[in-house]
Structure 1
Amino acid sequence: MKNYKRGRFARRILLGIVILIGIVYLNRVSILQKIVALGSQSQLINIDKQSNSPTQNDELAKLKYTGQTVVEINHNQPTFSQEDLQIKQGGWQKLSSLDWLGRPQAANALLNKKLMPPSQKYKARERLTIKTPGYHAIKTGTNNTDWLYNRSHLIGYQFTGLNNEAKNLITGTRQLNADSRVNAKSMVTYETEIADYLHQSKNNYVRYQVKPIYKNVGLVPRGVHMMAQSNDNTLKFNVYVFNVQDGWTINYLNGKAERSE
């Protein structure tokens, strides 16, 4: 009888541990964000890092926005290898797996006219239903008719027709995604440049890479690193686009935001 009671007690303890582990796992994002918040007054170790050596992503995450949404990286020269630029296999796209926080990672592609979807004039684009990490429906503007955030594609819909795919969608501001201000640059500036080039010839290819840049366990990227190079080298760029919205202060940990003026 004693052995039976001990066994039952041990099973209850084990069940309790399993339940506790499950609760911690399901709430891992909020728990980690609270840890980060508690340490915000002291030096914070980047728990995303696998080593002590700073990477390019780390350096980009540290960049400070000073009013210029787009800045050039490496003098605007992409860093693809010759192997990266091979076009023998034709066009393709590859999306990285979501990380342990459910955040999209690098998206790569070799773009070509054949991959582009039919015009929306002939086929309506499906409505986005994916809820991206850190997304909040926040209205802006005096009439509250505009939204602070878009669900921004890493590889633009116009290139491959990919739409409702969690690995390809991040929480991005309007200013990052498609800034409507005169002479302002944003992701759409470079996407349009690529699309125009691809439409010129079926023999035109563009090696393309887009990386969301996160800091620590923030759900909303600090910005997006975009790099492209055409097979004839007439089109190339290497830029970083800040994920900001003038007049707003964004909490990149959870996506909450408030007016700053």
Structure 2
Amino acid sequence: MARKRTYNRRNQPQNKILSVLILVAVIGFYLWQNNQASHSNQGATSTKPFSSAVAADNQALLNLKWDGTLDGDVVHINSDKATFTNVEMGETFPSQGSKLRPVDGLSLSPLDNLGRSQQGNFIASRSAMDKVTKRPDRIGYDVRPSGWFINDRFDGTKWVGGYHNNPNVKLGNSKQALWNKSHIVGYQFFGMPTMVTENMTTGTRVENAYPGQLVAEDDIRNAIKKHPNIMIRGQVTPLYIGTERLPRGVHYMAKSIQDNGKILNLNYWIFNVQPGITIDYQTGKATIQKSAK
């Protein structure tokens, strides 16, 4: 009679432990890959320093040529030296309780006679930023800068008619909406009072925050975070050619007040452009090239 076969079970606990360790390692690697991918989609990766240029006036800024790259969206002007006068550095912009002067430190300009947003001036400070509440998920429909709709018209106070076209286009490792309602003075400095048409332009995702104006805004925020007692004088000016509805870019200057620019002194030209996109600045229409589809 054959002997009944028996099995050695002494190694089973070790085998179970090994299986668990392998499973944990696989899950950890999967999560790490996803984390890397999510970080790569959050913003542009800088491969070279931003370019620089000398520009004596607004026309010189408009004459600058974009090099076609993400990094080329931001240009450092005049060795990063803001050109505020002593009078401008002394302005404080006290609140007038109005749409254009809603809170201390913020001064917006009225739309021009073509319905286009103009220059914003501000004093950024820790106290003002501490009052900012969580930003809404969406900017209101009635906040409508020039060029946001196509074939619309300006009735003297607001834009009416037309239609909106905002395609998702390739940017980095993902697809994102081409057009943003781009703040002139950033939300992070004053919150809800910045959510008005007079403080918006129709900007590409790149111009707005990829890297775009977010570079200057983060420079200001980080300076205040490191030096909570300083105040920073800022000025943002959209520049247009002729009667075009979309700005060709924005001129962004900022300078720390108490130390006359030792902590922060910046002067940027930020193109309203995006790789793979041809923009008609007169109408707001965009042609998407194969590389951006």
TM-score of the alignment, normalized to the shorter chain, above 0.5 = yes
Shift of 1:125: 2.5
How far, CA to CA, are the matches of 2:274 and 2:228 in structure 1? 37
Structure 2 counterpart SS, 1:177: helix
C-alpha distance 103-173 of structure 1, shift in aligned 2 (>3 A): same
Shift of 1:254: 1.2
Work out which of the residue numbers 193, 212, 222 in structure 1 matches 2:248.
222
Shift of 1:57: 2.0
1:211 has 2:237 as partner: yes
Structure 2 counterpart SS, 1:253: coil
How far, CA to CA, are the matches of 1:238 and 1:192 in structure 2? 14
- Mark the runs of 5 or more structure 1 residues left unpaired by the alignment: 1-54, 180-184
Structure 2 equivalent of residue 60 of structure 1: 61
Give the number of the structure with larger relative contact order, counting CA–CA contacts within 8 Å between residues 6 or more apart: 1
Structure 2 equivalent of residue 78 of structure 1: 82
1:119-198 pair list within 5 angstroms: 120=133, 123=134, 125=136, 127-129=138-140, 130-135=143-148, 136-141=164-169, 146-161=176-191, 162-179=193-210, 185-198=211-224
Structure 2 equivalent of residue 252 of structure 1: 281
Shift of 1:87: 6.9
Structure 1 equivalent of residue 110 of structure 2: 97
What TM-score results when the alignment is normalised by the length of structure 2? Answer: 0.63
What TM-score results when the alignment is normalised by the length of structure 1? Answer: 0.70
Shift of 1:124: 5.0
Structure 2 counterpart SS, 1:75: helix
Shift of 1:80: 0.7
Contact kept in structure 2, 1:126 and 1:163, CA below 8 Å = no
Tell me which stretches of 4 or more aligned residues in structure 1 moved more than 4 Å. Answer: 87-91, 117-120, 142-145
Report which stretch shifted further, 206-215 or 128-137. 128-137
1:78-132 alpha-carbon deviations (Å, 9 max, x no partner): 1011222227788511111110011011101111112225465xx4536312121
How far, CA to CA, are the matches of 1:71 and 1:126 in structure 2? 30
Shift of 1:140: 2.4
1:35-92 alpha-carbon deviations (Å, 9 max, x no partner): xxxxxxxxxxxxxxxxxxxx82222222221131111222211101122222778851
C-alpha distance 253-106 of structure 1, shift in aligned 2 (>3 A): same
Letter in 1 for 2:274: Q
Structure 2 equivalent of residue 236 of structure 1: 265
Contact kept in structure 2, 1:74 and 1:238, CA below 8 Å = yes
Structure 2 counterpart SS, 1:116: helix
Contact kept in structure 2, 1:128 and 1:163, CA below 8 Å = no
Contact kept in structure 2, 1:204 and 1:230, CA below 8 Å = yes
How far, CA to CA, are the matches of 1:92 and 1:199 in structure 2? 18
Contact kept in structure 2, 1:137 and 1:148, CA below 8 Å = no
How far, CA to CA, are the matches of 1:94 and 1:257 in structure 2? 32
How far, CA to CA, are the matches of 1:88 and 1:147 in structure 2? 36
Structure of larger gyration radius:
2
Structure 2 equivalent of residue 108 of structure 1: 121
Shift of 1:144: 9.1
Q: What fraction of aligned residue pairs are identical, expressed as a percent?
A: 36
Contact kept in structure 1, 2:119 and 2:235, CA below 8 Å = yes
RMSD value, Cα: 2.4
